[in-house]
């Protein structure tokens, strides 16, 4: 039987949520020093981020698009190649010294449905038996994952079907991990950015391919509904209001911060202010 991940979507605050049958009701909150692992996976070196509440061990996998066994080995037992970058234990010995709790994967969440981000979700679904969350505007794109992957010489499983919808403006509680979902279309119709708050450090936002360090995602990819004006509006209205210190975890390339991109990004930041119609402030 499929085990439902404990999650609670709600519009304003978690106490308004109506828990679904079988869902464990627990109060999500900002985390203290979460572990964040980055796995750069597959031929496009897509960033899969794994977020763990170090107190409870509750874990979510964001964009588990490739190299699923590498992710599983590390998440389940700190085995194997491990992440390219982490705020958590660097190896099994360090984890044991820190009495690290066993991780319990409670949900799979995606920023969008390009095959490099979602192609191997079925392997993670089968292993963890938890729900996979995707914005419904990317459901059609998701059906094309296998076909798109073939163009890159990849043999992907039958595309996963989302178990639950992500809804922009809602807060989701996965076990003890709370994520705010921002709908940020423009790279794809259903693109979302996922905000993780912390009590004792910067917040984090997982933006998929909406915003990169010094760049933005492509808006010309087939069947995706890309549109630069829509992307710019998403960045200006959804991402720029975040704290300047918020760490941006893009789908590809280096991490950055909201403040740095606001000031320097040549496509959607201040330097774009005088260049074209999509300058800084237009959507503020």
Q: Using CB under 5 A, which residues numbered 201 to 230 contact Zn ion?
A: 209
Can residue 186 be called a binding residue for Zn ion (CB under 5 A)? no
Output 36 or 141, the one with its CB closest to Zn ion: 141
Output 20 or 218, the one with its CB closest to Zn ion: 218
Check: CB of residue 195 under 8 Å from CB of residue 203.
yes
Minimum distance from residue 187 beta carbon to Zn ion (Å): 6
CA–CA gap between residue 238 and residue 17 (Å, rounded): 23
Can residue 65 be called a binding residue for Zn ion (CB under 5 A)? no
Q: How far apart are the first and last CA of the chain?
A: 47
Output 125 or 184, the one with its CB closest to Zn ion: 184
Output 82 or 251, the one with its CB closest to Zn ion: 251
Minimum distance from residue 110 beta carbon to Zn ion (Å): 10
Region for residue 14 given its phi and psi (left: phi exceeds 0; alpha: psi -120 to 50; beta: otherwise): alpha
Can residue 114 be called a binding residue for Zn ion (CB under 5 A)? yes
Among 68, 159, 251, 269, binds Zn ion (CB under 5 A): 251
Handedness of CA 205, 206, 209, 214 (dihedral sign): positive
- What DSSP string runs through 168-216? TT-EEEETTEEEEEEE--SSSTT-EEEEE-BSSS--EEEEETSEETTEE
> Which tokens hold the place of 194?
């996922």
Can residue 185 be called a binding residue for Zn ion (CB under 5 A)? no
Minimum distance from residue 191 beta carbon to Zn ion (Å): 8
DSSP state of 31: B
Q: Point out which residues bind Zn ion (CB under 5 A).
A: 114, 116, 209, 251
């Amino acid at each position: 039987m499929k085990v439902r991940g404990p999650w609670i979507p709600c519009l304003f605050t978690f106490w308004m949520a109506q828990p679904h049958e079988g869902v464990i009701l627990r109060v999500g909150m900002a985390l203290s020093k979460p572990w964040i692992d980055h796995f750069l996976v597959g031929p496009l070196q897509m960033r899969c981020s794994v977020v763990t509440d170090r107190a409870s061990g509750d874990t979510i996998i964001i964009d588990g698009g490739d190299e699923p066994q590498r992710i599983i080995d590390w998440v389940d037992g700190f085995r194997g190649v491990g992440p390219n970058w982490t705020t958590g234990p660097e190896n099994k010995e360090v984890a044991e010294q820190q009495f690290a709790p066993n991780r319990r994967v409670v949900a799979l969440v995606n920023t969008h449905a390009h095959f490099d981000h979602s192609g191997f979700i079925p392997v993670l679904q089968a292993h963890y038996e938890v729900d996979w969350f995707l914005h419904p505007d990317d459901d059609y794109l998701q059906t094309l994952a296998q076909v798109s992957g073939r163009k890159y010489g990849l043999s992907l499983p039958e595309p996963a079907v989302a178990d639950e919808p992500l809804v922009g403006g809602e807060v989701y509680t996965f076990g003890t991990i709370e994520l705010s979902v921002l709908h940020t279309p423009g790279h794809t119709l259903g693109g979302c950015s996922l905000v993780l708050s912390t009590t004792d450090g910067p917040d984090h936002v997982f933006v998929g391919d909406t915003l990169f360090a010094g760049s933005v995602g492509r808006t010309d990819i087939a069947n995706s509904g890309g549109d630069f004006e829509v992307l710019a509006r998403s960045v200006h209205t959804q991402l720029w209001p975040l704290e300047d210190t918020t760490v941006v975890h893009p789908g590809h390339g280096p991490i950055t911060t909201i403040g740095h991109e606001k000031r320097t990004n040549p496509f959607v930041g201040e330097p774009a202010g005088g260049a074209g119609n999509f300058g800084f402030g237009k959507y503020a």
